[in-house]
Amino acid sequence: MPRNWLIMDRSPNGVQAPHVARVESIGRKLPTARLTTDELMASTRHHTGIDLERLTGIHERRVSAGEEDSLTLAAGAAADCLRRSRHRAGDLQALVSCSITKYRDGLTQWLEPPNSLAVAQAIGATNATTFDISNACAGMLTGVFIVANRIRRGEIDCGMVVSGEYISQLGRNAAKHVRNIMSSELASLTLGDAGAAVIVERAAEGVPGIGVAGFTTVSEHSRLCLAGPARHDEGARMFTKSRAIQHVAIADTPLLLQEALDAAGLAISDIDCIIPHQTSARAIRNGMKDICEVLGGMPKNPAVITVDHYGNTASTTHFVALVEELEAGRLKAGDRVVLLALASGLEIGVVLFTVDGELVSRYGNDT
């Protein structure tokens, strides 16, 4: 498995990098409508007998009733991120859109003009270079990797990574087809809609920031989750072998996480908080328990869980959860946080950063 852990404060030959990138501000945009799991399962065409809430731990998720789409969720999150930031839109030198869904004006996928340009226009980021990337549910973390590296190299001072996922329509389509617990569309019933945005900037001297970031694609498992346009329904359908994905992810993740920690000179017990991709509460708890057993230690909080009330929000999931932790005052200055991507592909990624007091204060909490 080829991987490339980028040590953000050093160059490959060990020389101090010119700059360190930090997480400056995070924003999110959530639809107002809530859809409970009981309501969703009551809408299935077939009597499934599935207790999805017990199986996944998901009580509800936010869903667009058509008033929000990928673009409006992304633009709303970008505006929220700027509202919390010391920066204005004109300060942004790069804006990267990382959404899987690219819906505008209903369930129409727009590839051109790209979402990044549309978001930049919506918030007035007239000085930003814009581009889209796609890396499944690891998209936003990949965007952070790219922007942070450009800052580290001295190419830019400040950039935004953004995504809007109008993905609940996969669940509406799945409800027409799921018959039992073995259905390949069962995972689609866990999805929720959300937008998220993060500003990454050059850190002042002595301020901690992003320490390590890197990704690995285990491509032999690429067909375990596939999606495409629905033939007879609006939007798309997704087919997932959930148990197989969970098995291979848990098999490969401990080694990769250990390599990232070694690159940072840290042990798992030095980490304060791990935010994994939000799939189901049961899978997260069991998976992180297995990972920590292999690594021989445990962070203070080994498994942040927000999937119970937001569902799986695809590429936005880590930053939706980060805002939750910051607003609740559960993150403090100096905390080391691991964002752990487990995405279709199979993509496994790690972004490790240190929370600073300025970020904490943006959410009304003391450092």
Question: Comparing 16 with 131, which gets the higher pLDDT?
Answer: 131
Number of domains into which the chain is organized: 1
The pLDDT of residue 316? 98
Length of the chain measured in residues:
367
The Cα 131–Cα 108 span in angstroms is: 20
Phi, psi of 281 (to 5 degrees): -60, -40
Its pTM stands at 0.93
- Summarize the chain as % helix, strand, coil (round to 5): 35, 25, 40
Query: Nearest Cα to 35, choosing from 239, 191, 195, 196?
Result: 191
In a 10 Å sphere around its CB, with 0-12 CB exposed, 13-18 middle and 19+ buried, how is residue 204 labelled?
A: exposed
366 inside domain? no
42 inside domain? yes
The pLDDT of residue 2? 43
208 inside domain? yes
Domain coverage including residue 142: 6-361
> Residue 204 carries which DSSP code?
P
1 inside domain? no
Task: List the CATH number of the domain containing 68.
Answer: 3.40.47.10
Q: Is the pLDDT of residue 185 over 50?
A: yes
pLDDT tens across 251-296, in order? 888 888 999 999 889 999 999 999 999 999 999 999 999 999 999 9
Helix, coil or strand: residue 142: helix
The Cα 359–Cα 230 span in angstroms is: 42
Per-residue pLDDT band for 1 (boundaries 50, 70, 90) equals very low
